[in-house]
Amino acid sequence: MYSYKHKVYCLLLPMICITTLSYSCKKSNTTNNNNNGGGADTTVTIPAAVDPPPANTQGFFMDDWAAKNFTVPTCTMMEKPGNPAVTIDIDATNVVTKISTNLFGNNANPYMSQIVTEPALLNNIKQLHPKIIRFPGGNISSVYLWNAAKGVVPATAPLKIKDANGANIDAGYWFGKNEEGWTLSVDNYYNTLQQSGNEGMITVNYGYARYGTGADPVADAAHLAADWVRYDNGRTRYWEIGNESNGTWQAGYRIDVSQNKDGQPEYITGELYGKHVKVFIDSMRRAAQEIGKTIYIGSQLLETAPASWQTPTDQNWNNGVVKQAGSATDFYIVHSYFTPYNTNSKAADILNAASSVPKNIMTYVTGNIASNGGTVKPIALTEWNIFATGSLQMVSHVSGMHAVMVLGELMKNKFGMASRWDLSNGWDNGNDHGMFNAGDEPGGVAKWSPRPAFYHMYYFQKYMGDRLVNSTSSSTDIVSYATTFSSGQSAVAIVNTGTGDKTVTINLKNFKSGEKYYWYTLTGGNDNGEFSRKVYINGIGPSGVSGGPDNYTSIQANAAMVKDGIRMLAPARSVSFVVVEK
């Protein structure tokens, strides 16, 4: 039996306890059969869970799906709250989807150090284990010469290119063989992947196919990409052609037609990009076949219907890409920054966007592909974050809450792959997409210290199973993402988007609970209004002005007995990760 008289710390297994202050526990010889927040009645037959086949939007990104086993954490026994106001109902055998292991990626870039020379950064990347690290990512991809030493520019790559306004500007090439400490070379990108246990996604330079001055610039750019495939030698499975090539901000959007030798128009179009994509795919796939490797190559679509003020390029982009490249491309790429550009968005707006945008993207993109006569293929969200500025939103606890909700919605809406932008960027008065401080954050913050989103994504991955199952909440403020582990446990991420505390009870259907449940709760501080730069994990916070606790890998879970119900407090604007023993 269990009596609540002493506080206990449970080490590794629930049976090994050290008594301290509040509770005591000793092993019970009885079996808990309460199905209302407890174990299922032993006389009831629990139906077998049936895994649905991968959706077309997931496809080959599910090929390396892996079963997960839960490791029982060290824990501190806690009192359970009474009078629950919110109920979360979970059906543990109603499988929505097996969870793609490729949804938790991130982006590296060529201005974030050589990484392997920065042990603090490398260790945090190891702990986070995004699995996919995209590179070189962003607009730099369009002027990236992966096999060139610093300053060595091909004769057919002009030193001046046109911007969207028609002005001649420096091309600003980046070089993959630059070994200076401030940048990231191609070889150290591969070293980072190897040392951190992750794999890559590579964005090849499409812009060169537009501004190149050779007799056949498309062939030149495709050959550059194919040579990277050969050099890669099977280390990378996922490749994408260009980065936001429709954008006015992208090298190659507008070219100097007097320098072009294959009759390309001044402005890029979706149809032209689609035609070029087929050339790239042909060259890159032949290179992969030469070395006996399989690769998957993606092309870009717009994630939402263009507004009336957007360019003619945008208005017809998807139509042209799908009709020209739809049969050749392996997957489609979209980007989203969820909130209005350069807007001082409120926390509620940011969280609402997290819950609605992924579904809107999937609905629009799949419908748009079909309406243009294409076949729906895997969808990869290779850049995502928020555009909210002015109140430190990007480096806040709310940004971490947003990250959890985005990941949960990507699972629900069956995206195949995703990668957040990005591991490191620049402070910019707090308008910093970087997951880690690059050394320019004020307040004495140590270089490479993680931002709140890091801790949210770390705990979500660690305490999330391998199958998403159906769950519902009785409150619009409480959002739930329920999962199961192949080792038998049930889990749920609980996001309280509201401004008031909620007491929650969890009802598990078709699941026989064990004796304990465990949870971690992440909350913000009171340092910056609704956008705290701090995150507290089970009450343990950072030693400085921002981020989270240094000992995040060893913080003890809260725990309570399943008997008499699974209940917990969800504080205002918090995320809790709960796992129930089988």
pLDDT in tens, 16-70: 333 233 333 333 332 333 344 444 445 678 999 999 999 999 999 999 999 999 9
Over 90: is that where the pLDDT of 388 sits?
Answer: yes
| Cα–Cα distance measured from residue 580 to residue 582, given in angstroms and rounded to the nearest whole number | 7
| Cα–Cα distance measured from residue 213 to residue 211, given in angstroms and rounded to the nearest whole number | 6
Top pLDDT among 272 and 137 is at 272
pLDDT of residue 45: 87
Instruction: Read off the pLDDT band of 12 (50, 70, 90).
Output: very low
Over 80: is that where the pLDDT of 5 sits?
Answer: no
Sign of CA dihedral 578, 580, 581, 582: negative
pLDDT of residue 15: 29
Over 70: is that where the pLDDT of 14 sits?
Answer: no
Sign of CA dihedral 537, 541, 547, 549: negative
Task: Kindly state the average pLDDT of the residues 460-469.
Answer: 98
pLDDT of residue 39: 43
CATH number of 34-100+466-580: 2.60.40.1180
**CA nearest neighbour of 415 among 388, 381, 443:** 381
Are the CB atoms for 463 and 517 separated by under 8 Å?
no
Its pTM surpasses 0.95:
no
| Cα–Cα distance measured from residue 409 to residue 70, given in angstroms and rounded to the nearest whole number | 23
| Cα–Cα distance measured from residue 87 to residue 497, given in angstroms and rounded to the nearest whole number | 15
| Cα–Cα distance measured from residue 326 to residue 377, given in angstroms and rounded to the nearest whole number | 9
Task: Kindly state the average pLDDT of the residues 149-165.
Answer: 98
Over 50: is that where the pLDDT of 381 sits?
Answer: yes
pLDDT of residue 4: 30
Residue for token pair 């796992």: 579
Task: Kindly state the average pLDDT of the residues 479-484.
Answer: 98
Instruction: Read off the pLDDT band of 534 (50, 70, 90).
Output: very high
Tokens of 87: 């109920």
Domain ranges of the chain: 1-30, 34-100+466-580, 106-462
Instruction: Read off the pLDDT band of 137 (50, 70, 90).
Output: confident
Residue for token pair 């490791």: 71
Task: Kindly state the average pLDDT of the residues 529-549.
Answer: 98
Tokens of 32: 């808990």
Task: Kindly state the average pLDDT of the residues 171-191.
Answer: 98
pLDDT of residue 479: 98
pLDDT of residue 43: 60
| Cα–Cα distance measured from residue 497 to residue 366, given in angstroms and rounded to the nearest whole number | 29
Lowest mean pLDDT among 29-43, 163-177, 350-364: 29-43
Instruction: Read off the pLDDT band of 272 (50, 70, 90).
Output: very high
**CA nearest neighbour of 577 among 555, 554, 551, 558:** 558
Residue 76's φ and ψ, nearest 5 degrees, are -120, 120
Could you write out the DSSP letters of every residue in 366-431?
A: HHHHHHTT-----EEEEEE-----SSSGGGSHHHHHHHHHHHHHHHHTT-SEEEES-SB---GGG-
CB burial readout 270-284, b (16+ within 10 A) else e: bbbbbebbbbbbebb
**Residue 581 CB contacts under 8 Å (≥ 6 apart), including other chains:** 14, 72, 489, 513, 514, 515, 516, 517, 518, 562
Distances from the Cα of 572 to the Cαs of 52, 172, 191, 237, in angstroms? 35, 47, 42, 42
What dihedral angle (degrees, nearest 10) is formed by the CA atoms of 277, 250, 59, 234? 70
Per-chain mean pLDDT for the chain: 93
Lowest mean pLDDT among 5-9, 265-269, 436-440: 5-9
For 488, which DSSP code? S
| % of the chain exceeding 90 in pLDDT | 92
Lowest mean pLDDT among 6-20, 90-104, 498-512, 519-533: 6-20
**Topology classification of domain 106-462:** TIM Barrel (3.20.20)
Task: Kindly state the average pLDDT of the residues 308-317.
Answer: 98
Q: pLDDT of 230-256, one tens digit each?
A: 999 999 999 999 999 999 999 999 999
Task: Kindly state the average pLDDT of the residues 558-567.
Answer: 97
Tokens of 223: 């050959």
